[in-house]
A and B are shown apart, each in its own frame.
Chain A
Amino acid sequence: MNREGAETYLRLLAEAAMRRSLAPAAELRAPGASRVLVVGHALTVVGALDPVTAEEILTDLRLAETVRWLHREPAVQGVTAAEWLTQGRAGLRPKQAPVRSPGEGTPGEDADRGRADRFVPVGLTVPFRAGTVSGELCLMSFAQTGSGARFIAAWQVHSPSLEVQLSQHYPGLIPVDEFTVTDDRGARYQLDLSPGSDVAWPNPIRLSPAPPATIRWLDVAPPYRRAVRVDLGCGGRPPVGDTTRVGVCDTKLSPGEHLLVMLAERLLTGTPEFPRRGLLAAPPTSPRQVVAGGFGVIIAALEAAGVLSPLSPVPARLATLCASLDLTGHGIAAPPTLDLPEPWLSLLAHYQRRKPEPTQMREGHAALAASLPEVDGIRVTLLGLHHTQDGSALHVLVQGRIPEPRPGPLDIDLNFPLSLWLRDSGGRWHAARPDRCHQAGRERAVRLRLVPPLTRPAEWVEVLAGGRSAEVRATLPLCWMYPS
């Protein structure tokens, strides 16, 4: 990795942006600054450039541009001296995580550190009624790790309130406090929807306090109803079920290739559903177009930083992707290629459809508890598939060497730094894109939105998890459950 090359490239790009802003015709903000930001973000994501350095370069560029605007009219981006002095820094540095004292932290964390994690598929439904609200708690899986224990669940809530029926904002109505949970030793637990205090994401339900790792079952009792027993087995369950086939192969992507693949998949999953041909093109100011418009310089920067080989096939694939999605001005020098990964082709074919495919899928969920082999030091455990009228989602727990978030314009989520795809039993690929994330200790519970959503209940799915060093394929049978 050539860190000096990366810094020099970004500084030269900033100089070019500065030059454009000095040109006599440059009355409006040159697009250079946003391009420098995009490339700076890319270089920090691959670790070729320290975020502090990237911020310095961007801040200097802003200061240099705006000090020349001191005596312009406000209508042509004039700034006052006070504004110049107090303008903030470019934000590429990760936010400092609060330092925690010993004993401070998520309840239950550390309690079982060092013990084997336990992931159990559940597949049970707990009907409930509380006042005028009724429904079902659909338990997909149980996950117990050093950070605590939680169910991955789906809620079905029925209310006579028309407002609730129309709004989908039912999580606030869930009577979670009125459930009781008891283990095989008589210990009682509370259900806690607090992860991230995200009421719109009521799928992970923490057990508080964290139960011992040796409990054999839990009775989950809704208000005034009989409890439903959740058998947690006796441990020793293999991480992936007998009926699951798993394969691992080396990929050896460079950091630059891995980033480009993530960006490509971000473009693929950010494309609007079923647009008419010709309307795929994003407006020039959209994040999608800004990122795509920076591909040429991103690729050149990655090459200058020594994290992307000039012989890499990935830029040519990106060129094809941009052409297929009507994204113009990408600046990729490599000619397009027909050699695209099968999942990309599947998703592109989906976008080329003229009308939505009729869905034969009811709201439902499939229990999962399958840990995939580690990729790039990251272990992904699949904890459930969930389909509603809003779309399909895969719930996972991510553990291990997760990179720290790098804020920036590229709109990629380093909470989930892998490429993850599902192929359904009909042969169609679905990209799994991070949608919600909650960090607890050294792990992250992530909800991945499937693009496109499932249209029929798959009998099995093949999961493809790709990282820099390896690619894992696991085929999992599914058993769908539907709320009444």
Chain B
Amino acid sequence: MTHAPNGAWFTSLPPCETLVPCGQGQHYVRWEAGELRLASHADPEAELVLAALGGEKARCVEIAEAWRRHAADLTVLSIGPRSPADEVAVTWDDVDTAAQATRGGGWGGFGPRMPRLASAPTAAMARAAIRHQQHQREAGEASQRRLDMLSLLALGTGFQLRLSGQVVAAYADRLDEPGEPGRTVRSVLTAALDGRLAPVAERWLGIDPDQVEVSLHRGAGWGSVELTGQGGQRRLRVSLPAWWLARVWASGLALTGHHLVVAVERAGWPDARVLALRAPGAEPVSLSAHAVSHASGAADAPHWEI
């Protein structure tokens, strides 16, 4: 499904890149066609081997590793941006500060201090030691996950949107499979759809985002959009497939020319053909969309017009 007849999910996304402090200089990290590329590191795999042998790991390489670790991490959808306007501004200084806190044992304070052994350890003390080690290990892993996340957020909005799309693509056809511990795939994607569609609906219809009710559409067709009730009882009921998040929302197509885009018929950059609704309850129409340059000149968060 990632490579559907109308192209891979990211076909309507342009490349994006950013500068990352790496070693003594600054290196470009680039996302293109669904992959992260390190322009200044010819052989990242070899660098990883050297790092494993005790050499210093370049930040670019660390970022590529973090990207790979989190490309199917549902937490990305909980923390990442809900819209291009939702800027999660993390600087590389923030990342450095957080890394220092990790190395300084910021997590260690949560664990119980082990008493000095005055006599042979008893069974209870041995168990306490095992619990302590387990706690330290879990805390360390959690700390590393958060540090990864902070680094990925520091890449900027364009990368954040693309990573979200990548995570959705990893699960969109696996709604019934078990997710990570503590996360049911369908629940996470339903909430992700709600968090990203509600602000779009607000801009589309002026409706209170809390009056938007979403569900994941399954089966044939693009889904449904229905407006019911009046005043406080007004509800916009939207049912869209999980793929909408990757193919439409992450590509910046969700609201194009005052239409709610519900599907991409022919993906592409800078021209795509989309299925869009003028109003709830109306039949979707096929429209040509054309990407235009962002006001900033960057193509990180694409902007489309009909």
- Taking Cβ atoms with an 8 Å cutoff, the residues of A that contact B are 3-4, 7-8, 11-12, 14-16, 18-19, 22, 50, 52-53, 55-57, 60-61, 63-64, 67-68, 70-71, 80-82, 84-86, 88, 96, 98-99, 101, 104
Q: Is the CB of B209 within 8 A of A19?
A: yes
CB distance from B151 to the nearest CB of A (A): 11
Across the interface, A82 reaches (CB within 8 A) one of B78, B106, B124, B182, namely B106
* Chain A residue with the shortest CB-CB distance to B193: A15
Whether a CB of chain A sits under 8 angstroms from the CB of B94 is yes
> Does B146 lie within 8 Å of A84, measured CB to CB?
yes
The one of A12, A56, A85, A98 in contact with B143, judged by C-beta atoms closer than 8 angstroms, is A85
Q: Is the CB of B187 within 8 A of A82?
A: no
Tell yes or no: B194 within 8 A of A by CB. yes
In the complex, the answer to whether A4 meets B186 with C-beta atoms within 8 Å is yes
| A417, B301: Cα distance in complex, Å | 53
With A53-B182, A60-B75, A70-B94 as known contacts, state yes or no: A85 contacts B194, CB within 8 Å: no
Which residues of B in the span 73-127 have a Cβ within 8 Å of any Cβ on A? 75, 78-79, 82, 86, 88-91, 93-95, 97-98, 100-102, 106-107, 110, 123-124, 127
- Tell whether, in the assembled complex, residue B90 and residue A67 are in contact, meaning their CB atoms are under 8 Å apart: yes
From the candidates A4, A19, A56, A101, name the one contacting B199 in the complex (CB within 8 A): A19
Q: A67 touching B187 by the CB < 8 A rule?
A: no
On whether the beta carbons of A12 and B191 are closer than 8 Å, the reply is: yes
Q: Which of under 10, 10 to 19, 20 to 34, or 35 or more describes the interface residues of B?
A: 35 or more
Chain B 163-196 interface mask (CB, 8 Å, partner A; 1/0) = 0000000000000000001111011101100110
Whether B79 and A60, one on each chain, are in contact in the complex, defined by CB atoms closer than 8 angstroms, is: yes
> Shortest distance in angstroms between B27's beta carbon and chain A's nearest beta carbon?
21
Q: Is the CB of A99 within 8 A of B127?
A: yes
Tell whether B226 is near chain A: CB-to-CB under 8 Å: no
B48 contacts which chain A residues (CB < 8 A)?
none
In the assembled complex, how far is the CB of residue B110 from the closest CB belonging to chain A, in whole angstroms?
Answer: 7
Q: Is the CB of B101 within 8 A of A19?
A: no
Q: How far is the CB of A25 from chain B (nearest CB, A)?
A: 14
Q: A19-B199, A60-B75 are in contact. Are A11 and B191 (CB under 8 A)?
A: yes
A15 contact set on B, CB distance < 8 A = 191, 194-195, 198
Does B102 lie within 8 Å of A85, measured CB to CB? yes
Measured in the bound complex, the distance between the Cα atoms of B296 and A391 in whole Å is 71
Contact between chains at B210 and A16 (CB < 8 Å): yes
A53 touches B194 (CB 8 A): no
Q: A56-B183, A101-B123 are in contact. Are A70 and B90 (CB under 8 A)?
A: yes
Residues of the B chain whose Cβ atoms lie less than 8 Å from the Cβ of A98? 124, 127
B90 surroundings in chain A (CB, below 8 A): 67, 70, 81
Give the dominant DSSP class at A's interface: helix
A4 to chain B, nearest CB (A): 5
Contact with A along B121-136 (1 / 0, CB 8 A): 0011001000100000
Contact A53-B183, Cβ < 8 Å, known A61-B78, A85-B98: yes
Inter-chain CA distance A19–B102, complex, in Å, is 30
A-B contact number at CB 8 A: 106
Highest count of chain A CB atoms <10 Å: which of B75, B94, B95: B94
Nearest-neighbor residue (CB-CB) of B87 within chain A: A68
Do residues B181 and A52 form an inter-chain contact, with CB atoms below 8 A?
A: yes
| Given A19-B198, A68-B88, A88-B110, A7-B100 contact (CB < 8 Å) | no
Q: Could you tell me the distance between the alpha carbons of A8 and B110 in the complex, rounded to whole angstroms?
A: 31
A82 CB to closest chain B CB (Å) equals 4
- Is A82 a contact partner of B98 (Cβ separation < 8 A)? yes
3 closest Cβ pairs, A-B complex: A11-B191, A82-B101, A60-B78
Bound together, the chains give a CA A77 to CA B75 distance in angstroms of 23
Residue numbers in B under 8 Å from A55 (CB-CB): 182
Q: Which of A16, A50, A63 contacts B146 (CB 8 A)?
A: A63
Contacts of B195 in A (CB 8 A): 15, 18-19
B274 in the interface, Cβ–Cβ < 8 Å? no
Of the residues B79, B97, B101, B147, contact of A64 by C-beta under 8 Å = B79
B residues less than 8 Å from A60 (CB atoms): 75, 78-79
B88 contacts A67, C-beta separation under 8 Å: yes
**B174 smallest CB distance to A (angstroms):** 15
B153 CB-CB contact with A under 8 Å: yes
Contact A12–B75 (Cβ < 8 Å)? no
Q: Do B191 and A84 touch across chains, with their CB atoms under 8 A apart? A: no
Contact of B107 among A16, A50, A68, A86 (CB under 8 A): A86
Contact pattern, B 193-224, Cβ under 8 Å of A = 1, otherwise 0: 01100110000000001100000000000000
**Nearest residue, chain A, Cβ from B78:** A60
Check if B150 is an interface residue, CB within 8 A of chain A: yes
CA of A80 to CA of B150, assembled, Å: 12
- A430 to chain B: closest CB distance in Å? 41
Q: Which residue of A lies closest to B147 (CB)?
A: A85
**Does B188 lie within 8 Å of A11, measured CB to CB?**
yes
B110 neighbours in A (Cβ, 8 Å) = 88
> How far apart are the CA atoms of A388 and B93 in the complex, in Å?
62
- B190 contacts A67, CB within 8 Å? no
Asked if residues B146 and A85 are in contact (CB atoms below 8 Å), the reply is yes
Roughly how many angstroms separate A24 CA and B255 CA in the complex, as a whole number? 21
Is A56 touching B190 in the complex (CB atoms < 8 A)?
A: no
Q: How far is the CA of A82 from the CA of B88 in the complex (A)?
A: 16
Bound-complex Cα distance A15 to B199 (A)? 11
Shortest CB–CB separation between residue A21 and chain B, in angstroms? 11
Q: Which residues of B contact A56 (CB under 8 A)?
A: 182-183
Chain B residues within 8 Å of A82, by CB: 97-98, 100-101, 106
Q: Which residue of B lies closest to A80 (CB)?
A: B97
Residues of A within 8 Å of B124, CB to CB, are 98, 104
Residues on B with beta carbons closer than 8 Å to the beta carbon of A14: 78, 191
9 sample A-B contacts, Cβ–Cβ < 8 Å, listed by A number:
A8-B187, A19-B210, A53-B182, A64-B78, A67-B153, A81-B90, A81-B93, A82-B101, A98-B127
A8 touches B190 (CB 8 A): yes
Most B CB atoms within 10 A — which of A80, A82, A96? A82
Q: Chain B residues with Cβ under 8 A from A96's Cβ? A: 131
B100 cross-chain contacts in A, Cβ below 8 A: 82
For the complex formed, measure the closest distance between the CB of B104 and the CB atoms of chain A, giving whole angstroms.
8
Contact with A along B56-85 (1 / 0, CB 8 A): 000000000000000000010011001000
Q: Pick the residue among B88, B127, B190 that contacts A11 (CB under 8 A).
A: B190
Q: Given B94, B101, B181, which contacts A86 in the complex, CB threshold below 8 Å?
A: B101
Please determine whether B210 and A81 come into contact, CB atoms closer than 8 angstroms.
no
User: Do A84 and B187 contact each other (CB < 8 Å), given the known contacts A18-B82, A22-B86, A61-B78?
Assistant: no
A80-B97 Cα distance, complex, nearest whole Å:
8
Minimum CB distance partner of B75 in chain A: A60
Contacts of B75 in A (CB 8 A): 60
CB distance from A8 to the nearest CB of B (A): 4
